[in-house]
A and B are shown apart, each in its own frame.
Chain A
Amino acid sequence: MSWSLGEVKALATKAARGAGLPWGMADEASFAVHWLQASGAPGVAALANYLEWRDQSPSKPHELCPIHLGTAIMDADRGVSEWLGRVRQPLLLAPFIARSSPSGMALTWPDMMLVVSETGLTSDASRALLLTDEAECSAAPATAQSAQRVNRVPETEAEAMARLNHFASRTYAPATEASRMSGAGAGITDND
């Protein structure tokens, strides 16, 4: 069993929204997860980790948020500065850095260097390092190699997918008999 990237993209949007991100930011989180998974990097797990942490500390929603920092870098469009700051799940920054610097950029944090470009990322770092919880990040121009594309999310991500599903379920309204009948507009025969 595996998932399509489209399924993962849709799930990530809902999960980020379910965890409290505004819709437009949830779309960016989904973009980041899709981008990472298409490079074979654990985007689903990174977002699940970040949302769980955020859920425990809801008082300062933008603090250490890789989506917030990533979109701010992208929107400012002034090139990527050397020092990026401290974020949770720094892996989630990679897609935004790549979009800001399509030709290539090295994203680094202690013990880690990822070269990213518009084609994706290449890394032989361990999953644990890729999923570093929190780190000071910096960036520097780099020459990127063309990255391999992956078009499925493998079974090994099942546990992380389940964690995203937990957040996604917060966007679903509990059904009532009234909404069941009126919400979809049924109620007359459909068996003829």
Chain B
Amino acid sequence: MKQASDLSGQADAPKRAPEQVMRLSRMGCFHQTRLSFMRVLLRRMKSAGWRFDRPVWRIDAKGVGVATYRAKGPERTYTLIAFAHDLPADLRSDRVIAEAWDSTFTLFDGEPTEEDLTRLSAHVPVQEAGRLSDGEFVLSRANRSVRLFEHVVDALSRGQQPDPAVIEPVGYLMRTTAVYGSGKFGAADRETWAERPEFQGSFQPELLSVWLIRSFTIDLAEHMAAMSAPETAVTLKPDLKRRFGVGNSTGLGMAPFLLNHPALIHAWINARETALARIRAIETATSKEQEMFRALVERAEINAANWTVDHPGQAQKCDGLREDFTILRKHLSDTALSAEHPWNALYRWAETALSLEGQEQLVSLMLEPYGALIDDLALGMSADESNLARIDGKMTVAALRSKLTEIYQWALSIDFDAPDAQARIWYVSEEKLEPRLGERFEEPLEPYEQPLAPGRDAMLALAALKDFDDTATVAEFLLRHPEYRHTVRRLQIAAQKPYAEIRDNTIASEMLPIDLLRCKLSFFGATKFDPRSDRWVRITMFQGAPFPDELADMDPDDLAYPPLQ
């Protein structure tokens, strides 16, 4: 076995293997990093000197009307258009099948005219039932957190600041229940803006929208307080205001994303793993870097302490994480980070001492002091998927078989005839055209199965390959077995991009969709993962981040963890 010192002596420590990283149990423990897309967005807008204002505010005392938020960059301007509604409580639902919301939004490419606002007022409030044009990039909506919104409006109207103890467990005034981009419901295709420097990376227009929505939620609460008590009302103090992010409620609709975008997922995970490898290869840490890391450990511990969930599985993981922090602090008090290859040593220690939650939290924290070394990786966190990956028909059956056996090694030992191994079935419901997860052996769903079980399909393809000679080609195989075309395509992508494929059974009875959601949302930069079941999760976005009027004067990266008390 190789000693740690052998590896740490290398100029560039190896990346973690996909067999280790791409397991659902670990992906379901990812935390935000400085490569997360929210943080990339704020860093970029800060360095490019973006300016922000609110040209339109036509909201009445009941909180109904329209507002616009303008973001002016060096080359282009974007405008968030917010429609505020008076939603009866009985219609308020986070479910994607809802048909009315407290507020609805679109991100407009440029500055809308009055005609644009009028046109969009007929489409944006009805969301999926409306139509956007190629002048709009994002469609979204949000509902109030009833418990917190009323508390804040009430306190402000009485001239008081809201109670931090009430704010912290929720962390937002509104939560979005969908943020649609990339051509959905008629909006502009990703290709329209993919080359724009301000949107390099992933999900930048969507997250710009969410960040501006955050301002709207605060403005709306302050406005309603002022309208109800003009004599006494006050606004939120900046430090307290920053503790409000935007919530998000995400269900199964998002889960298949990781399976449907293998090249993109590789780009994300590869960037994160490359960053970790670069950090582990560092020979010595400066005292400044060591201090920064130690302080961040304390701040992340506050975050972990404030992370409250009802979900039993996640509650257990959170308890484990809090214990991990105790163990980590003890270890750090006994360990000098001034030794050689301190980060590699710390990571190797963590693999033996911490839970997966703790290990992945540590990975995030180790990246923090090293923006200069790793932030460039953010530019590679996208993939041009506009063209379907072409199949290499000349690949031999021998090579195909060998690659299938290697990449799906984890599946070779699974008996897919056993009910537990394929208990679940992914399908799309007629009612709302959204992905759903059913019980294969209890509901008549098999004719509607989506191709979201790569491991099982790879094993079926391997079995079908028994009838072919080693020297036969993929082209010949697919001519007879077009039903494995999607499997061969995935395989050929994963052969080039090792983090493209999840190394786990996505239809097993014990599979937890929230692991898929957590992985994706961590790349967005979400915090406070709060699973409401095994199938949907609430999160907080941009909590602690600067507001548009603060961005020029504050360091958004320093605000990613809560301040020390």
Contact = CB atoms under 8 A, between A and B. Distances in A.
Nearest to A61: B482
B433 A75 contact: no
Given A24-B485, A184-B95, A188-B533, A179 B134 contact: no
A185 B532 CA distance: 9
Which residue, A2, A5, A68, has most C-beta atoms of chain B within 10 A?
A5
A1 interface: yes
A23 B451 contact: yes
Chain B interface category by residue count:
35 or more
B220 interface: no
Interface in B423-451: 427-431, 433-434, 436-439, 443, 445, 448, 451
Interface in A1-48: 1-7, 21-25, 27-28, 30-31
Chain A interface category by residue count:
35 or more
Nearest to A188: B532
B440 to A, nearest CB: 12
Interface string B86-103: 000100111111000000
Nearest to A118: B387
A188 B536 CA distance: 11
Interface in A147-172: 151-152, 169, 171-172
B183 A178 contact: no
Closest 9 CB pairs of A and B: A185-B535, A24-B485, A6-B183, A75-B393, A4-B183, A183-B436, A24-B486, A75-B475, A172-B430
Interface of B: 89, 92-97, 131, 133-134, 143, 145-147, 182-192, 249, 251-252, 387-388, 390-391, 393-394, 427-431, 433-434, 436-439, 443, 445, 448, 451, 474-475, 478-479, 482-489, 513, 532-536
Given A7-B185, A71-B391, 18 more contacts: A1-B186, A4-B134, A4-B187, A5-B183, A5-B191, A6-B182, A7-B183, A23-B486, A71-B485, A74-B391, A74-B393, A75-B474, A171-B448, A172-B430, A173-B428, A173-B445, A176-B443, A186-B95
11 contacts: A22-B482, A22-B484, A23-B485, A27-B485, A27-B486, A75-B393, A169-B430, A180-B431, A183-B437, A190-B95, A191-B89
Interface of A: 1-7, 21-25, 27-28, 30-31, 68, 71-72, 74-77, 99, 151-152, 169, 171-176, 178-180, 182-188, 190-192
